[in-house]
Chain A
Amino acid sequence: MDIIPQLILESLLLGAFYAFMSLGFSLTWGVLNIINLAYGSYILLGSYLAYSLYTYLGIDPILSLPVSFGAGFLLGLLTQRVLIDRVMRLEPFMVLILTFGLDIFLANLLNLVFRADVRSIDVPYAERSFILGPLVVTEVKVAVFLLSLVLTGSVYLLLQRTWTGRSIRAVALDREGAQIVGISPTRVFLITSGLGTGIALSSGNLYGVLQGFTPFDGGMLTVKAFLVSIVGGLGRVESALAGGLFLGFLEVFTAFYLGEGWKFFASLIAMFLFLLLRPRGLLGGKYYGET
């Protein structure tokens, strides 16, 4: 039997999740011009939060999505106020170092609380699947796929239809211009950071349902979010979808044809080549500031 349709299905399902997962990273990069190396650890914070709520209180990780989003939003506000705001005027690589420090801190904090064992959120419907023509469809993957699309769509509507969204986009395109029409960049940065971190933590719920995780998976997740952001170009929902699908296909096909071991290498080399050859992404999305 031909395996290709199955691989395509898996890529699509995974791709939509990656699009949503990376949206927060892409947004904070596009709007604040900040590459947040702690982003992967934010996702894991969400996974562990959902894990705890499920294990100790029996709350389904899908129902606790708003909790993760709320917690993330607050965390985003806090880090923006206390940390990022203070270093945004310095050399951009200082922010890299700062967020790397934050990443080390969070990973070790999770390790202290939950230890390094692989955890997973074993919802009862995790193993269910059905046959659709030549395809085997795992229910939980479909659920994550649909939720990712809905959530990505909501972020899109938020950015396009609300005044908050419009001011975020205005600051992303032209910081000084936005200031002239009376938008406070500092406030927009704060909201964007909250939104971005909220997205990270809530995507952690879905990640935890999809697969097992340890406190030290953050770096790998950050790389994924980075690749998704750079493939499409920054700060736009359409671009994140394109990037998410790219990563989905890349991972599924690399894992099948070359082996699991080459999966992360493929992402990294793609990231390296994109930065080197097409730093503006395939869709030519706008970068803040420099060339």
Chain B
Amino acid sequence: MGRPERILLVLLLVLLIFPPLLTQYWERVLTSALMISSLALAQNILLGYTGYPAFGCIAFFGIGGYTTAVLMKNYGMPFWVSLPAGALFAALLALIIAPPLMRLKSHYFAITTLALQLALGEFVANLEFTGGAQGINLPIYRGPGGYLVFFYMFWALTLFSFLLNAYIDKSTFGYALKAIREDEVAAETLGVNTVIFKSISFSVMALITGFAGGIYAYWITYIDPTSMFDPLLSVKVFVALLIGGLGTVGGPLVGAFLLEILSEVLWGQFPKVHGLILGLLIVLIVLIIPSGIWRR
């Protein structure tokens, strides 16, 4: 880890002592900034290091969230079992579809994952045990720590993802992913089993994204297909990554916080036109800083 990354890590650790001092509003903003951070860091492993843009990454957010919710609501399982079960299910599914899916590259891959995300949303909306289009009401969390628990969970997920990114940046495992990103054919002729490594990368992305979905579901207590498979959330993850810089350890974290805080401020100022501004913001970011602010 370089010096800027270490500073970022310290800031992340400092964030841990903040919450009790925060107003409810800022607690919510920071919690959702941490959620976007973990999603962006997860996508960074796949896109930034392996070179595959899963535009429909939120498919796994939805799978994680819905599995957690269904296990809790329909089978009365505790959250601490449902959450990892949901994330593992997302990761397993990713591992299975990765080999055929990852024969596609670039925007074909991106769009195929997006189709999967939207299809899953429609699928869930048509099933009975997922509550159909009405969605599922989860029990409200009343344990120790109150809603700060969700802040801490997203914080832990972000820390884990951050350290994982730092590990990939410097390890031989990371070498395999970067080789695939740079030139998949060359990587294969130099001994890298590309199918295995890109599948692992995809699956790790899905695991973290699935965890985020499960925590989110319990946090907002009410989920429906539209909110759990929302393409807007996918694009937010990508914009956060773009702002920060692809394939860097610190970029996704910085990008996610900037995007969340920026949009919060804008929402507060112009509640009526926030969609308009978000659209404009995305266009401008692609035009102005396509390579991000954090240097590789």
Contact = CB atoms under 8 A, between A and B. Distances in A.
A adjacent to B, CB under 8 Å:
yes
Interface of A: 35, 83, 86-87, 90-98, 100-109, 111-112, 219, 223, 226, 261-262, 264-265, 268-269, 271-272, 275-276, 279, 290-291
B70 interface: no
Contacts, number: 119
B107 A35 contact: yes
Contacts of A94: 242, 286, 290
B122 interface: yes
A107 B273 CA distance: 11
Contacts of B123: 265
Contacts of A93: 53, 55, 106-107, 110, 238
5 residue pairs, one from A and one from B, having the closest CB atoms:
A101-B282, A105-B279, A108-B275, A104-B279, A265-B122
B235 A100 contact: yes
A118 B159 CA distance: 45
Contacts of B106: 91-93, 290
Given A93-B107, A105-B279, A108-B276, A272 B242 contact: no
25 contacts: A35-B107, A35-B111, A87-B287, A87-B290, A92-B107, A92-B110, A93-B238, A94-B290, A96-B53, A98-B283, A98-B286, A101-B278, A101-B281, A101-B285, A104-B235, A104-B275, A104-B282, A105-B283, A107-B275, A108-B273, A223-B115, A265-B122, A268-B122, A269-B119, A276-B101
Given A262-B126, A276-B101, A290-B105, A83 B287 contact: yes
B107 A96 contact: yes
- Provide the main secondary structure of the chain B interface: helix
Interface string B193-205: 0000000000000
A141 to B, nearest CB: 25
A240 to B, nearest CB: 18
Nearest to A272: B115
A275 B107 contact: no
B112 interface: yes
Given A262-B126, A264-B122, A276 B286 contact: no
A279 B108 contact: yes
Contacts of B272: 112
B261 interface: no
Contacts of B275: 104-105, 107-108, 111
B110 A268 contact: no
Interface centre among B108, B116, B272 (most CB of A within 10 A): B108
A261 B125 CA distance: 8
A281 B239 CA distance: 31
A290 B112 CA distance: 15
Contacts of B126: 261-262, 265
Contacts of A83: 283, 287
Contacts of A275: 104, 108, 111-112, 115
